[in-house]
Amino acid sequence: MDAFRLDGKVALITGAGGGLGVAQVQALAKAGATIVATDATEAALGAMDLTGLTDIDAVEMDVTDGGSIDRAVDHCTARYGRIDLLVNNAGISLPGSVLDYDMDWFDRTSAINFRGVFAVSRAVANVMVSQSTKGAIVNLASIGGMVVDGPTSAAYDGTKAAVIQITRNFAFELARQGIRVNAVAPGYTRTPMIEKYLNDPDYRSALENRLIPMGRVGRPEEIANAIVFLLSDAASYVTGHTLNVDGGWVIQ
């Protein structure tokens, strides 16, 4: 099972202070990676539950700010001399009807969920191509990039469809440089992002009894485990793929 380990690898995670991000920090660290956990604010980084972990390097990085991305990437190269693994996890969801959707929300969602993935991948891929052992990238897409997963999620879902496509583009372009690029598409997973849906008894019942064949929402570590697989040598011939981790939602 050594192929599933990440020993000796330096991993940069965006949005690491969130529900899925913290689980990724935990899982990648347990698999042996050195973690650079980044988030937009010091407060988000400070809120991370790092129980049982030591030596997590917490660094501020706002994925909408080119200067902030460069500073975090420079920090990694100065301190570790390399970046082997990248998880583009930062993302927001601002639901609303298409009929009166706030276009500032649209711009913000696109800037973080789509442009942010592109900009951070671009910066980190440039480091990876300069290394002798290249690297692997995993992007957080969503089932919303493939199916309509809610009545008011057009802006969010559009960005996630874009993430699925640029995962293929980056994978194609970087394959001969030795860099693999894949995505994970979570279904509803218990984090602050979906709390509002779980607190609505009718919607929660629809999720558990109708929308999710496995009858329950996901756990953050179930997403993180799939990410570890895609980053590891166990997935050495997998690139450009989006792996659904959704309790069967999109097979219906």
Identify the residue among 11, 18, 27, 231 touching ligand NAD (CB under 6 A). 18
Say whether residue 48 binds ligand NAD (CB under 6 A): no
Identify the residue among 34, 121, 142, 232 touching ligand NAD (CB under 6 A). 142
To 5 degrees, how large is the angle CA 191–CA 194–CA 196?
125
Segment interacting with ligand NAD, rule: CB under 6 A, options 2-10, 72-80, 85-93, 227-235:
85-93
In this structure, the number of other CB atoms found within 10 A of the CB of residue 42 comes to: 11
In whole angstroms, how close is the CB of 222 to ligand NAD at the nearest point?
11
**Spatial distance between the Cα atoms of 36 and 72, rounded to a whole number of angstroms:** 9
Residues 86-105 that bind ligand NAD (CB under 6 A): 89-92
Say whether residue 182 binds ligand NAD (CB under 6 A): no
Say whether residue 191 binds ligand NAD (CB under 6 A): yes
Say whether residue 39 binds ligand NAD (CB under 6 A): yes
Beta strands 10-13 and 57-60, pairing class = unpaired
Has 203 been annotated as catalytic?
no
Q: Which of 101, 156, 197, 203 is catalytic?
A: 156
Residue closer to ligand NAD, measured from CB, 189 or 232 = 189
Say whether residue 62 binds ligand NAD (CB under 6 A): yes
DSSP tag of 189: B
**Spatial distance between the Cα atoms of 178 and 134, rounded to a whole number of angstroms:** 5
To 5 degrees, how large is the angle CA 112–CA 115–CA 121?
105
Q: Which residues contact 50 (CB under 8 A, 6 or more apart)?
A: 22, 25, 26, 56
**Spatial distance between the Cα atoms of 138 and 117, rounded to a whole number of angstroms:** 10
In whole angstroms, how close is the CB of 102 to ligand NAD at the nearest point?
17
**Spatial distance between the Cα atoms of 177 and 104, rounded to a whole number of angstroms:** 37
Catalytic sites, residue numbers: 156
Interacting residue ranges for ligand NAD, rule: CB under 6 A: 14-15, 17-21, 39-40, 44, 62-64, 89-92, 112, 140, 142, 186, 188-189, 191-194
